Amino acid sequence: RPLQAPEPADILVSELLGSFGDNELSPECLDGAQRFLAPGGISIPQSYTSFLAPVTTHKLHHDVKAYKDLEHFETPYVVRLHRHYLLAPTQPLFTFVHPNTDAPIDNSRYDSLVFSRDPADGAAVLHGFAGYFECALYKDVLLSIHPPSHSVNMFSWFPIFFPLREPVYVPAGGEVGVQVWRCCAPHKVWYEWALSAPVAGPIHNVNGRSYWVGL
């Protein structure tokens, strides 16, 4: 946009966070706005990290399946989780820091996670992955929907659910592996995800064919 501020700001405050931290394009928006920030200026938030965990949630999977198409199985859903069970503790996925001093700036991401399970927990059925975020507003001031650090009485965001096309049996003590991509193109951003253990599965939402967020 052509706007020119009369002078640089010392503090840039924004509320652009989504249920997965970056899923409402906070990185792209703040990267564009940081030109209004003075050198050494402060961004609030300063950083945010997404977290992921394998989840059993028959009801959600059944609701997605009711659409009887591929598109809905390749779409992440913001939903308040009720009847669900996390098969393993959450793990961090993607982190973004502001202001962003990378040169060049690239907000695409990739990571591969492996979740270990206690054999005593028994076998389970995997329906997808539950996502959360944790945000550092300034120094040690946190805002979080991540279960271990969830902000007290904070209901502004619900978790996000990444479904799998088919439920997957996970044997007792079996590992769950997943690969996740945050993909960026000139006019859109999207996620792709694929199961890598206990069996290899298809990549969901290839090239953003079913779900994306426009720039």
Dihedral pair phi/psi, residue 90, rounded to 5°: -65, 155
The single residue of 15, 74, 134, 175 carrying the catalytic annotation is 15
15 is catalytic: yes
Give the residue carrying structure tokens 């329906």.
Answer: 127
Catalytic residue among 24, 134, 175, 192: 24
Phi, psi of 20 (to 5 degrees): -115, 20
Tell me 56's DSSP state: E
How do 124-138 and 91-97 pair as beta strands?
A: unpaired
Concerning whether 74 is annotated as a catalytic residue, the answer is no
DSSP 114: E
**Pairwise CA distance, residues 15 & 172, whole Å:** 42
Q: What is the residue whose two structure tokens read 């509320």?
A: 15
Tokens describing residue 27: 């990185």
Active site residues: 15, 24
